[in-house]
Amino acid sequence: MGDGQKVEEFTRSSMGKISGVRWNKRRAGLPWWVEEIDSPRLAIDDKVYKRYDQSRNVLEAFERYIGEKKYKDLLRVQREVIAEHCRRELIGYRLEDRALEDASWLLERTGDLNKGFRSWKRMFVETPKERGVRRYEGSPEEAARLVKAAARYFGAATVGITLLDRRHIHARERGMDIVFEDVDEPYEEPGRKIVIPEKCKYAIALAIQMPYANIKRCPSVIGDVGTSLAYSRCEFLVGALAEFIRGLGYVAIPSVNDLGSSVAIAVDAGLGELGRNNLLITPEYGPMVRLAKVITDLPMACDKPISFGVLEFCKECKLCAEACPPKAISMKDEPDFEVVGEWNNPGHQAWFENGVSCYAYWHMSGSYCSLCLSVCPWTKKDTFFHSVVKATIAKTTLFNKFFILMDKLFYGKRRDPAKWWRMNLPEYGIDSPKRKF
């Protein structure tokens, strides 16, 4: 049996269609108005959807997509724009804003696939063998509870567990094939292949909350800080959680944007739905999250995908597409299978984005933009009123047009980046809602 056939057969069984799968009754802390469903609502074409070659990603192949000359021109423009912003002391783009952004990337810039906090090998934790005991052997339900408690403690806003659909794992990354082999530990042969053990059948999806006060100041460097700090927190989260699982006696592979699609895994694990902006929309924070994941062989009870009205709402609401400066977000009424460019992975239903236009605008504007996050009606503080609105959207489409209009009237204005420095900020700039677990 070839590798492709093995992957296809494993994938067919891995989404809960095999006997012996243990499911959590309901994810702890999930809002009452969120419905658990058997499979994500946006369809996958099993004949087309395959593992993605990361070299096609816009960040990796941007120069190839636009040409060498235009790429060099954009880099020059970006440097000039950033320098000019600092000289003019443009609010939200000043020297102090840039310094804060650079500092916020600190931990993220230490990580990469199989490096830093994302090392695939044990770093500091003692193994059960070193302690002279057997590895952890609790029930799948108990294991899931322990992992979720640890993930929350290490900084996750929400956590979900799913059987790993290997099609969500990249086919290639950094010029190397990613393969599954019958081995005890993951390893890398530099320049040739990256190996994941066959036994790693579980994926832990993790969401890090981004600070509302920053995201509502996009586009600006102060808005960008919400992204950079969230990615640095992801580094610690996946590294610490992987070490915890290794300490129980199991394999753990930490990952942020590398290795595979964090969005697809998060959808399978019930953290949210895919929105018009082609980002994960969560019931708690909307798209105001950064995603990460840990792949492991620790048997855990799995969570189901969820539905809470995002698909129907996004069909009517086009605020992110209307606000997008380079018009990179689809204005289509319905999601479909028609990709925009080579950077999109075909075979799944979505509102596909023009990633090249988006990334080019970043260079020209001197910020990461993130307007699609800022203007999204799901990007709101967790108040009683907004909870009522979310619950209504989850149960009926009757008031969607009214809610979209109200959002334009009351929440469309960008917050002043200068005032951010004078705020009495909570830890990490995040005002986390109280939860019952």
Q: Residue 435's pLDDT is what?
A: 55
pLDDT band of residue 243 (cuts 50, 70, 90) is: very high
Bridge partners, 204 (sequence order): 161, 294
Q: What are the helix and strand counts (H, E) for the chain?
A: 16, 12
Distance CA 218, CA 59 (A): 21
- Evaluate if residue 431 carries a pLDDT over 90: no
Radius of gyration of the chain (CA): 21
Q: For the segment 72-106, what is each residue's pLDDT rounded down to a tens digit?
A: 999 999 999 999 999 999 999 999 999 999 999 99
Q: For the segment 134-165, what is each residue's pLDDT rounded down to a tens digit?
A: 999 999 999 999 999 999 999 999 999 999 99
By CB atoms closer than 10 A (0-12, 13-18, 19+), residue 359 is buried
Structural domains counted in the chain: 1
Mean pLDDT, to the nearest integer, of 206-214?
Answer: 96
Q: Residue 7's pLDDT is what?
A: 41
Whether 93 is covered by a domain: the verdict is: yes
pTM of the predicted protein model = 0.93
Whether 75 is covered by a domain: the verdict is: yes
Residue type, 333: D
Buried b (16+ CB within 10 A) or exposed e, 221-244: bbbbbbbbbbbbbbbbbbbbbbbb
> How many alpha carbons fall within 13 Å on the CB side of residue 193?
8
Bridge partners, 160 (sequence order): 205
Whether 91 is covered by a domain: the verdict is: yes
- Evaluate if residue 300 carries a pLDDT over 60: yes
Distance CA 297, CA 326 (A): 43
Whether 156 is covered by a domain: the verdict is: yes
> How many alpha carbons fall within 13 Å on the CB side of residue 249?
13
Query: Beta strand 273-274 with 252-255: parallel, antiparallel or unpaired?
Result: unpaired
Range of the domain at 28: 3-421
